[in-house]
Structure formats: structure tokens, C-alpha cells
Homo-oligomer: A and B are copies of this chain.
Amino acid sequence: MNIEMINDAQQRLTGHVRVTPLLTSPFIDKIAGRRVFLKAEALQHTGSFKFRGGWSAVSTLSAAERQAGVIAYSSGNHAQGVAAAARAFETRAVIVMPKDAPQLKIDNTRALGAEVVLYDRVHENREEIGQKLAKDEGLTLIRPYDQPQVIAGQGTCGLEIAQQAADQGVNARDVLVCCGGGGLTSGVALALEENAPHLRARPVEPVGFDDVSRSLASGEICSNDALTGSLCDAIVTPAPGAITFPIMQRLCGPGIVVPDADCLRAMAVAFTRLKLVLEPGGAIALAAALYHGSQIEGADVIVVASGGNVDSAVFQTALTQYGNS
């Protein structure tokens, strides 16, 4: 896993990925107490950065692999990213999703042409299901984060950040990244190491699901006690990956841990101030910048808003509680 793979992924993604804008608002700067630059990955195809990794992985398959099809397990954003990429390459996609994933994500994945297999997040193991199906049907498994070509795709978001930060004169030290298994965080970290070494990626996680933060602090891979119970469904994962963790350990600053309520409040702020729809897990880095600024270094801060695939009911909860924030 290295920077050349990210550069190669960017070449394959050019003309297919959306270069998402780096957005600002004077109102957000005022709340945060510093300038905030938000990388709007919710505007990416399929509503999250996962399209990058999905496309990167599918586009490197051999002709035979492409003909047989791919399989992925995902709470929804990786599912849609892989499904959209597979459709573009006319490849069969089977997606293993938890029964309690947001209905919107399940519906969208099906609408993008994928076959959806539902499982029980508590009693079944998605990796086992995925590996069995892959073996039985000759499908290539595209892991949600612990796979080099997936990390390479997510890293292209970091290449864009490095370029846009330079163009816009951003004077930041920290790039806050919504973090599940660390695919986006490690990919961004590698891209910054090469292209903007004054910036460092920092994972942001929900309270109770701070496996990466604890792993970075202890120097050893730690797991979460639970696998459900956060609004941030997109970034609840069991533990950092075997590939992603060493990268994060080498390059990332300490993690920041944020309660769900702050994510809802940040969603209301993004609604009012940026006209951007974020899902709870996609708003957690913004929430860290807005409400946990004492943990951040630098005059400015960059936050990656990773996705916007949220059921309208959850979005309405954020607006009911926090209105025009």
C-alpha cells in the first residue's frame, strides 16, 4: 500500500469521480472559533466517498474476474459505491447488508442493480457470509476498508484535499476524518504525507465505538464492545484493519470521540449554513470541529464530510432538535 497506488487510482477515476468542493461558511467559522474547510463528499456519486474505493477496486479486476462478478459487505455506503461501479463496468454485484441498515441504503443498492443479501448484525458474521458466497459463486470480494485498491480509491479524496487546501490558502494542521475501519483515514493520510506533509489526518469516531482512537492510544488493535447502538451506522465497525491500522499508527494524530447528539447538531448546521445533507456518521468530523475545538491544533481545520445517505426520519430528528442552527 503506497502513494503510487493512490496516484494510479486517481488516473482511473478521472472523468468518473466528482471532484467535490471544499466548502466554507462564516457562520460555521464563528461557532468553531477558527476557519473550517469542509470536503463535501456527500456530493460524491452515490452520496459518499465510497464510490472512490468501489470504482478503484472494480476498475483493476481482470476480464475474467469482471465477468464472474463481485461481492461486498457493507452497512450501505460501500454497498452503493461498489454497486454503482459494478454497473458501470457491467459486472454482477452481490452485496451483504445488515438487516438494520437504513432502508434508503438498502433500496438504493438494489436500484443500482445489485443483489442484496441481508444478515443479522449481532448474530451473524458478515465476513464469513461474504467469503462463503465469494467461494461458492466465484465472486471477487471487495472489502469495505482493509483492501489496498479500496484504500487507494479513498486516498484520491486526500489528493484533492491537498490541492484544494493549497489553492485556497488553508493554514491548517489537522484534517478530521469520519472513521470506521480506517479506509478513508489511512488513504487520506498517505495522500497528505506525500502532497501536504504539514497536514495530518485524525480519525473521529462515535462515543462507544472508538476502536481506532483507543488502538492509536494503546499501540495495539482494540475492538468495540458493541456493534449497534450509534446513529452513525456508516462508521460502526468492529476494529481497525490489519492494513489500515499500521498506516494510521505511523501517520495520524490522536482520535477524537464525539457523542451522537453533536452529530445531529452538526447535521442541522450543515443544513442551514452549507445547504448540504449529511448523515450522522458523515457529520461527525464537522461536529468535532464545531464542538470539540479544544482538541484541535491549527488556525484553520479541514473536515471530511464523508456521506449524506440518511433516512428522512433521522434528518427530521436533527432539524426538530436543532432547527436552523
Contact = CB atoms under 8 A, between A and B. Distances in A.
26 contacts: A18-B21, A18-B23, A20-B21, A21-B21, A21-B43, A23-B43, A26-B112, A27-B111, A43-B275, A47-B275, A103-B324, A104-B272, A104-B324, A107-B324, A268-B312, A271-B312, A271-B315, A275-B276, A275-B278, A276-B277, A277-B277, A312-B323, A313-B323, A315-B319, A316-B316, A316-B319
A127 interface: no
Given A21-B43, A312-B323, 13 more contacts: A18-B23, A20-B21, A21-B21, A27-B111, A40-B43, A42-B275, A47-B275, A107-B324, A271-B277, A271-B315, A275-B308, A312-B319, A316-B319
A308 B111 CA distance: 28
Total copies of this chain within the assembly = 2
A312 B26 CA distance: 20
Q: What is the interface residue range for chain A against chain B?
A: 35 or more
Interface in A281-325: 308-309, 311-313, 315-316, 319-320, 323-324
A196 interface: no
Interface string A90-121: 00000000000001100110011000000000
Contact of A312 (B27, B112, B272): B272
A274 interface: yes
B324 A316 contact: no
Nearest to A270: B277
Interface string A180-208: 00000000000000000000000000000
A207 to B, nearest CB: 25
Nearest to A320: B316
A13 to B, nearest CB: 16
A322 to B, nearest CB: 8
Interface in A58-92: none
B308 A324 contact: no
